[in-house]
Amino acid sequence: MKIACVGGGPAGLYFALLMKLHDRRHDVTVFERNVAGSTYGWGVVFGDDLRHRLHSADPVSAGQLDQAAFRWVNEVVDIDGERALAECDGYSVNRRLLLDILAGRARDLGVRIEFDHEVTPGQLPDADLIVACDGVSSRTRLDAGTFQTGIDVGANKYIWLGTDKVFESFTFPFVRTDSGWVWAHAYGFDAQSSTFIVECSPRTWSGLGFDTMAPQDGLALLEKLFEHQLDGHRLAGDVRDDVSPRWLNFRTVTNQRWYDGKVVLAGDAAHTAHFTIGSGTKLAIDDAIALAGSLRQHGELEPALAAYQEQRQSRLLQPQSEARLSAEWFESIPRYIDLQPRQFLTLLRARRSPLLPRLSPRLYYRLHQATEDVTVLRELRSQVGRKAAAISSRRKPARPAGGATPQGG
């Protein structure tokens, strides 16, 4: 089969290497519009579930990622200097290094990667299968116009930054300002650097002047606001020198159809999940694994793509619901911020629960504490939550695509 992957992110690279790993006779090319070594973002997070799937799919690249991974321990919330901690752990990796590892492995298997090669609308590559994995603003998807795309724009403003302070715990610092609360999602991804995503309400954003401020002035103000949590370390914008950091509104992308003829969607072109659940890379790689598996299982293209669409749309129902609830929790910070730090952290960690918006924060906290240590009661709480989730899922669909603001991360 002749395969073209439009987009050199995790979905495209991992799918390409899996297809070559299965059958070296496949002719696979990845087209990436950016030059080699150029990427957005800083570090990405992943858990043991993804690590296990990576080892099952390709132990070679999985072993390289294990070597590159940074393990953070515990979650910490810091509310104007008052802290609370929850025991947990996870992994993160430098996004550029992740892509370098996947690209290197793909090349070793015989995949051609053409950097600085943008596939323009109306001029798709000549191939038996075209995988559109060119991001949230996918030109391949937009050009086809047959996927029934919906885009829901979140209310909060956020900016994806980095810092040379290494956060060894996943840290949520909250800072009170005269215009409202500003907070960050901070986690280390190697021995020298951390991701530092800043988020706030649109009212706070404009009240602090970010809507009219030059990018470097905005960074300076954020360094001042988070001076205590940064311990004198600096913030930096995009890892690409030619790109200034931008404030964005997160766009949740959905598609009723995932394939049309020989064109199939994967990664952010097919779906997005709010960054506050940290699943973007995981879901993109899961797409690649599922698509490669479906093509191996089915002898013909159309049944393979139909099975892939059905499987991934079904599997995404829960993470998409959790992502929506998580985004709405952070859009409702005034509802929770007056709790004690320990209570606040408990509800922050429970933010994916569909029960939480339906109960007062203090009532939910008492319910959570009363049921946490009793297995039967904890399961009852989960059952009620799942029923509430089913009701919550009956909401109006996202609006049709078009006119949305740019998105990164």
pLDDT single digits (tens) 315-344: 999 999 999 999 999 999 999 999 999 999
Q: What pLDDT band is residue 377 in, cutting at 50, 70 and 90? A: low
If asked whether residues 279 and 365 sit together in one domain, one would say no
pLDDT (tens digit per residue) in 46-88 = 889 999 999 999 999 999 999 999 999 999 999 999 999 999 9
Give the CATH number of the domain where residue 168 resides.
Answer: 3.30.9.20
pLDDT (tens digit per residue) in 113-171 = 999 998 987 788 899 999 999 999 999 998 877 999 999 999 999 999 999 999 999 99
Tally of domains within the chain = 3
* Residue 2 confidence (pLDDT) above 90: yes
Q: Quick one: average pLDDT of 40-45?
A: 87
If asked whether residues 132 and 54 sit together in one domain, one would say yes
pLDDT (tens digit per residue) in 260-319 = 999 999 999 999 999 999 999 999 999 999 999 999 999 899 999 999 999 999 999 999
Task: With respect to residue 274, please indicate whether it lies within any of the assigned structural domains.
Answer: yes
pLDDT (tens digit per residue) in 211-265 = 999 999 999 999 999 999 999 999 998 755 556 789 999 999 999 999 999 999 9
Distance CA 212, CA 339 (A): 33
Task: With respect to residue 87, please indicate whether it lies within any of the assigned structural domains.
Answer: no
Task: With respect to residue 76, please indicate whether it lies within any of the assigned structural domains.
Answer: no
State the pLDDT at residue 156: 98
Distance CA 354, CA 201 (A): 22
Task: With respect to residue 228, please indicate whether it lies within any of the assigned structural domains.
Answer: yes
If asked whether residues 256 and 244 sit together in one domain, one would say no
If asked whether residues 369 and 345 sit together in one domain, one would say yes
If asked whether residues 18 and 103 sit together in one domain, one would say yes
If asked whether residues 62 and 100 sit together in one domain, one would say yes
Question: Which of 223, 248, 273 marks a domain boundary?
Answer: 248
* Residue 392 confidence (pLDDT) above 60: no
Give the CATH number of the domain where residue 12 resides.
Answer: 3.50.50.60
Q: What pLDDT band is residue 5 in, cutting at 50, 70 and 90? A: very high
Provide the residue range defining the domain that includes 384: 327-392
What whole-number percentage of the chain has pLDDT above 90? Answer: 81
If asked whether residues 241 and 279 sit together in one domain, one would say no
If asked whether residues 140 and 258 sit together in one domain, one would say yes
Question: Which of 279, 301, 318 marks a domain boundary?
Answer: 318
> Are the beta carbons of 280 and 272 closer than 8 angstroms?
yes
If asked whether residues 348 and 380 sit together in one domain, one would say yes
Task: With respect to residue 148, please indicate whether it lies within any of the assigned structural domains.
Answer: yes
What whole-number percentage of the chain has pLDDT above 70? Answer: 90
Return the axis-axis angle of helices 10-22 and 280-297, rounded to nearest 10°. Answer: 30
CA dihedral 157, 247, 5, 55 (to 10 degrees): -60
* Residue 383 confidence (pLDDT) above 60: no
Task: With respect to residue 130, please indicate whether it lies within any of the assigned structural domains.
Answer: yes
If asked whether residues 44 and 147 sit together in one domain, one would say yes
CA 137 → CA 69, 86, 145, 244, 268, distances in Å?
Answer: 29, 37, 12, 19, 8
If asked whether residues 24 and 96 sit together in one domain, one would say yes
Task: With respect to residue 237, please indicate whether it lies within any of the assigned structural domains.
Answer: yes
* 379 vs 406, residue with greater confidence: 379
* Residue 402 confidence (pLDDT) above 80: no
Closest CA to 151 of 394, 378, 400: 400
If asked whether residues 212 and 272 sit together in one domain, one would say no
State the pLDDT at residue 143: 82
State the pLDDT at residue 397: 44
Closest CA to 193 of 230, 164, 236, 231: 164
* Residue 373 confidence (pLDDT) above 90: no
